[in-house]
Amino acid sequence: MSTQKDVPTTYDAIVVGSGISGGYAAMELCKKGYKTLVLERGRNIEHITDYDTAHKDNWELPYNGRVPVEEINDHYTKQNRLNWWVNQDNKPFINKDSDYPYDEIERFDWIRGHHLGGRSLMWGRHCYRWSDIDFEANAKEGIGVDWPIRYADIEPWYTQVETFVGVSGQAEGLKQVPDGVFLKPFELNCAEQSFREKVKEKYPERIITPGRVANLSEYNPEIHLGTRGQCQTRNRCWRGCPFGAYFSSQSATLPVAKETGNLTIRPDSIAAEVIYDPNTERATGVRVFDANTGEEFIYNAKIIFCNASTIGTTALLLNSRSERFPNGLGNDSGELGHNLMDHHYGMGASATFEGFEDTYYQGRKPNGFYIPRFRNIDKETEQKEYLRGFGYQGQVARQTDIAPEQIGEALKAEIFKPGPYKINVACFAEMLPYHENRMFLNHDKKDQHGLPIITFDAKLRDNEMKLREDGVKCAVEMLEAAGCKDISYYNNVTAPGACIHEMGTARMGNDPKTSVLNKWNQIHAVPNVFVTDGACMTSSGTQNPSITYMALTARAVDYAHKQIEAGKL
C-alpha cells in the first residue's frame, strides 16, 4: 500500500473516497485483479497507531473530554449545533468548519471528517436491511421516481457484505426489516428485556430487539482476518478501535485490498473533476489537487467509482463540466444535486424505569435496543395523516445521581452506588425525496483550494412534521406500557444533515430523463463511472443506510467486472 505522492498516473480503476463504500469498492476491485488507486482528500490514518485517544480515560483528556466554547465557536460552530458531536476524544477525526466552509439558504448540519477511512471510523455501526416496503414506496405513492431495483436484486449482496462485515443481531422475522446473517447479539439487559416484553403485551407490532451493529460479538479467524478482534465492550468506538472489533475501512476492507498487491492510496488528494472524453463518451480519469502543495495531477483509469460521500460525490460531479455536460457530469436529467435527504431525529422520550435495583450488567456494550418501523407497512398499520414511518434506537441503563454539593469521601462513596435505571427512546424518521431539497455549487465563490463553494437549500416539510408528532406520541405510549415513571418527551426539530445519514442528489432510476444512475449504479450517459455511496439513494427509508451502500457497492463492482470481461465496458 503506497501513500507516497509520487505514484503512477494510470490504473485499471480509481476510487474517490475511502470511507464505508469507498473502502468496500477498493477491496472488491483489488480482489478481482484491478490495479486500483484510492484518492482520499484528507490525511493518512494508520490503523491502531493513529487512534490517539483510544486508550485514554476522560480524566486523561483536556477539560475532561469537553471542547472549550471558544474553540467550538472558532472552528466547529456548524458541526456542533446539537452540542454533542465534537469532543476531545473524537476531535482528531472531525473537520474544522473553517477549513471547509459552505453556505446555507436553509440550514444544513454537514458533519464530516476528511481522513483515510472517512466516517467509517466514527459511524454508529447500526446495520439494517431494506425491504420491498422501502424499494416499492415511491412507485406506490407517486413520490419521486421508482427505484430501479427490488429486494431480490440486493438480497444476496446483503448476505455477502454481512458475512464479511460481521453484524451482531437477533432474528425477528419482520418483513419491514428482513433478517440477515448475524453473529450472536449483544443481549438486552434485564430492564431492556422487561421493556420488550411489556411493550409487546400491549403493542404486539412494536418489537424491541438488540441493535444490529457491525461490532464483532464473536471472532471468526477465517472471515475477520488478523486485523480484527472480538469487541471488548468499551463503547469508545468513535475514537478508532485498536482491537478492530468494529468494521471500518482501516480494520477490514483496506487490509484485504492491500494483501492483493493491487492497492495504491494517495491521501491529501482533492478530486476536482472527473475528466470526460466526448469521442469515446467515457470518463478518462480524475483531476486532483494536492492538499498540501496545490500541485495538480491527472490520474487515468478504465472505470471510476465515486464514493466521496453524498455531498462530496455530487459536488465532484457538478464541478465536472464540459461542452457535453455543461451542468455537471451525467446531468442530462437536471436531477444532480436535487432530492437531498437525511433521517431526522431530535425527538423521543425518556423516563425512570422502576425495578431491578438488585441487578447490574457487565461492560459497556456498543449498542442498545432497536424498534423497527411499525407504521404504514400494511393496511392494518396505514396512517391517513402522513406517508412512510420511523424507528427508534435507545437503551436502559443505570445512572449515578450525584448531588452537586458532594465532595471528598461522600462523593467517592456515592460514585460506586448505582442509581435507578433510566430509559431513553430516540426516534429516527424518514424524509421524502423532494426535488426542491438540493445542494448546488456557487462558481462565483471559491474555497482555499479554488473550488466552488457548496450551498445547501433543504428542509423538513409537512410530512416530516406529522411523522415527528406521531413518533413522539408512540414513544410515550411505549414507556407508559412498560410502567415507567417521570416520563418526559421532546421534539426538537433538527435540520437535515444532523443525523449524518445524508442521501440522494444523484439518484438511481429507470429513466435517464428523471435520474442520474441506472440500476447498476452507472451514470446513464457515462457508463464507466459508478456512484455507490449515499448519493445514489432514491428514497431514504427509516433504517441506517451504510450496509445498503456496501451491498450496492459489491453488486456494482461485480457488474462492472462482468461488463469488462465481456468487452462492453
In three-state secondary structure terms, 405 is: coil
- For 424, phi then psi, to 5°, come to -130, 130
Helices (H), ranges, 61-208: 69-75, 132-135, 137-141, 151-165, 190-202
Mean pLDDT confidence for 498-510:
97
Mean pLDDT confidence for 512-532:
98
Q: Round to whole Å and give the CA distance between 519 and 52.
A: 41
pLDDT of res. 536 = 98
pLDDT of res. 362 = 87
Per-residue pLDDT band for 546 (boundaries 50, 70, 90) equals: very high
Which of 121, 219, 226, 164 is closest to 31 using CA atoms? 164
Q: Round to whole Å and give the CA distance between 145 and 136.
A: 10
C-alpha cell at 181: 446473517
Q: Round to whole Å and give the CA distance between 523 and 509.
A: 10
Per-residue pLDDT band for 227 (boundaries 50, 70, 90) equals: confident
pLDDT of res. 2 = 47
Q: Tell me, what amino acid is at 543?
A: Q
Per-residue pLDDT band for 414 (boundaries 50, 70, 90) equals: confident
Q: Tell me, what amino acid is at 213?
A: V
pLDDT of res. 30 = 98
- The CATH code belonging to domain 1-96+247-342+502-569 is 3.50.50.60
Which of 559, 433, 547 is closest to 146 using CA atoms? 433
pLDDT digits (tens, 9 = 90+) for 443-460: 999 998 999 999 999 999
Mean pLDDT confidence for 25-31:
98
Helices (H), ranges, 416-545: 462-481
Q: Residue 5 pLDDT > 70, yes or no?
A: no
Mean pLDDT confidence for 244-273:
97
Q: Round to whole Å and give the CA distance between 212 and 218.
A: 14
Which of 169, 194, 521, 530 is closest to 354 using CA atoms? 194
Cβ(463)–Cβ(432) below 8 Å? yes
Enumerate the domain spans of the chain: 1-96+247-342+502-569
Which of 362, 357, 486 is closest to 423 using CA atoms? 486
pTM for this model (two decimals): 0.96
Cβ(177)–Cβ(167) below 8 Å? no
